[in-house]
Amino acid sequence: MNAATAHNSPGAGMPGVITATDATHMSLNSSLISANLAAYTILVLAAFQWLLIFVSHCVLQRRYVRRRPFVDRPTDDYPGVTIIRPVKGVDHGMQRTLESSFRQEYPGPVEILFAVEDPDDLAIEVVSNIIARYPKAQARVLIGKDNVGINPKVNNMLKAFDQAQNDLLWICDSNVYTDPGTLRRSADLLLDNKRLGVIHHVVFSESPTSFAGMLDNAFLVTNHCRMYLAINAFGIASCLMGKSNLYYKSALDNVGGIASFGQYLAEDNMIGQALWHSGWAHTMTGDLARQPADIGSFSEYCSRRIRWVRTRKYNVTFATFYEPLTESILLGSLTSWALGYIFGLSIVATFTTFMSCWFALDMIFFYRINHGSPPSWLWFVLSWLCREALALPLWVVAITGDTVVWRGQRFQFYLNGTVKVL
């Protein structure tokens, strides 16, 4: 039926009768409304992401460029601290990272416990040699394995939690290096604010030994670090990684104790949420948890990124599904379309401008938090570009699966975040 026929049909003009022309107009209007809504929604999300970038740079300036000085207080005010270092195998640069615990400029008493599962682990010799160089330090190696769940890190650390002589604990992974003032600045924050129950340090990757390590380095020192600072600046929920955390053993015991988190693969995230919901606030110092970027192969890099996303999918579901909109290429493409649709701007020119600004701010962010240039700007920029291009494909692969491989074991996730060994 053509338009003229429809207009002259018996139902044309009658109240309550929708003609073919009316239906076409309604469909077009609905499409326009949907497109407009999509375009404006994208621009709002893009504006929010640029706000997060702005906030991260503000936090960077306030906390990391102008790092907080020590507080002048009596030595007796500083509580005893037990540093727990879970160790498995010999990591790249391990002597430097572990030795940083002995070089902390902390006025109070410090106990250092190294937790090792296997009595034949080669790391024991490395640790013993370090302890021998610091005879005045209160340091011990604890060997043995408990079995309270599927998480090997929790199983390894449990003996150290049980034997710790102090209530304030600092859990620090074996491949993490911290500056000498890290512990004192962390304790100062806890002493200044009794509501604080968790101090954590942002992970910072350095000294890559391969191109795969450069990819990991590019991710951790830009996108991850930037988002970590911005999200924690708002302080509306727990957001932490377990590479370097301080919290009270008594507070953890009140939410079930370390053993109760052995059923989760992301025990750090679950501990943070449990302490947050029990009333303990979180904050960070201006210190970095520096770890070597010692990923050996491209497949290992991909596997690690996929494992991170799949783990978060079952612990912080909304944030994980929102994650692609924090990546430059996808958000830049959507923003360019939206600005072209609404204002008629060139999509190519807009996308080029968007990516150039994003790139420049990431380079500035890295330079300032690193207090200097990378060993090679050319390789750093190349790895940044490759990392950005890989972000969405790896996310798609990760989000469609429910198993991960960690330390040679395959795990399957349940909807509540717990896992089983396959």
User: How many Cβ atoms sit within 10 Å of the Cβ of residue 49?
Assistant: 19
How far apart CA 363 and CA 221 sit, in angstroms, is 10
User: How many Cβ atoms sit within 10 Å of the Cβ of residue 324?
Assistant: 16
> Residues 19, 32: contact at Cβ < 8 Å?
no
Q: Could you give the count of Cα atoms lying within 13 Å of 317 in the half-sphere of its Cβ?
A: 7
> Residues 162, 265: contact at Cβ < 8 Å?
no
Active-site hit among 179, 188, 268, 362: 268
CB neighbour list of residue 283: distance below 8 Å, 6 or more residues apart: 189, 193, 196, 198, 199, 232, 235
> Of 251, 268, 100, which is closest to residue 183 (Cα–Cα)?
100
Would residue 268 show up in a list of annotated catalytic residues for this protein?
Answer: yes
How far apart CA 84 and CA 314 sit, in angstroms, is 27
> Residues 209, 292: contact at Cβ < 8 Å?
yes
> Residues 293, 206: contact at Cβ < 8 Å?
yes
| H or E segment to which residue 390 belongs | helix 377-399
How far apart CA 311 and CA 300 sit, in angstroms, is 16
DSSP state of 69: P
| H or E segment to which residue 355 belongs | helix 347-370
For the record, the structure tokens of 225 come out as 């670090």
How far apart CA 124 and CA 133 sit, in angstroms, is 14
DSSP state of 259: G
User: How many Cβ atoms sit within 10 Å of the Cβ of residue 415?
Assistant: 9
Q: Virtual CA dihedral for 364, 366, 368, 369, nearest 10 degrees? A: 150
> Residues 199, 184: contact at Cβ < 8 Å?
no
- What strands, in cross-sheet order, belong to the sheet with 419-421? 403-406, 409-413, 419-421
Catalytic residues: 268
